[in-house]
């Protein structure tokens, strides 16, 4: 298994420790969001690594994406659920900022939020939280 996959699996496992929301990886958005919220980790873009010499290694600034969803009948409840999810995500990432030593640093960036209107159902409040994963490998394949 590549270092890239090990890092992504470790991030996914860490996110699964968050109590409440359903957490999936690279999944499709379901028709209904669980009342506690939904987190979908996307592998994102590993970009081009910086090459370090002697010994040859590859320095990655991988940008994973965490999609965060809250669905409720009223806007105040949706906003409260989303805010609570942001707090829980931050606490989880602060607790293990190197994913057990697999990364030099795991750093969430500011979320990009939006609202999704669903005909015949409660609206959804959504956000995309970019998560920068900085790590070094011995292979260009991650």
130: β partners: 65
Average pLDDT score over residue span 48-58: 92
Q: Output the domain CATH number for residue 89.
A: 3.30.2000.10
Query: Could you tell me if residue 142 is inside a domain?
Result: no
Confidence of residue 139 (pLDDT cuts 50, 70, 90): confident
The pair of structure tokens assigned to 84 is 């609570």
Domain count, the chain: 1
DSSP per-residue letters across 71-103: E-SSHHHHHHHHHHHHHHHHHHHHH-TTTTTT-
pLDDT tens digits, 58-90: 999 999 999 999 999 999 999 999 999 999 999
Q: What is the pLDDT of residues 10-36, one digit of tens each?
A: 999 999 999 999 999 999 988 889 999
pLDDT of 100 higher than 80: yes
Two structure tokens written together for 41: 């980790």
- Phi/psi for 140 (5° steps) reads -70, -15
- CB within 8 Å of 68: residues ≥ 6 apart: 37, 38, 39, 82, 85, 86, 89, 111, 126, 127, 128, 129
Structural domain that includes position 120: 3-27+36-137
Confirm whether 63 is domain-assigned: yes
Return the structure tokens found at 79.
Answer: 């906003």
């Amino acid at each position: 298994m590549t270092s890239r996959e090990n890092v992504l699996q470790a991030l996914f496992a860490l996110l699964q420790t968050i109590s409440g929301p359903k957490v999936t990886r690279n999944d499709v958005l379901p028709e209904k969001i669980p009342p506690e919220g939904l987190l979908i980790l996307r592998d994102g873009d590993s970009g081009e690594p910086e090459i370090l010499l002697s010994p040859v290694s590859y320095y990655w600034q991988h940008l994973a994406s965490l999609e965060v969803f809250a669905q409720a009948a009223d806007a105040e409840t949706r906003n409260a659920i989303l805010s609570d999810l942001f707090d829980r995500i931050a606490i989880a990432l602060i607790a293990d900022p190197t994913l057990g030593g697999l990364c030099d640093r795991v750093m969430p960036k500011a979320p990009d939020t939006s609202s999704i209107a669903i005909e015949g159902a409660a609206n959804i409040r959504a956000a995309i939280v970019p998560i920068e994963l900085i790590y070094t490998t011995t292979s260009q394949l991650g």
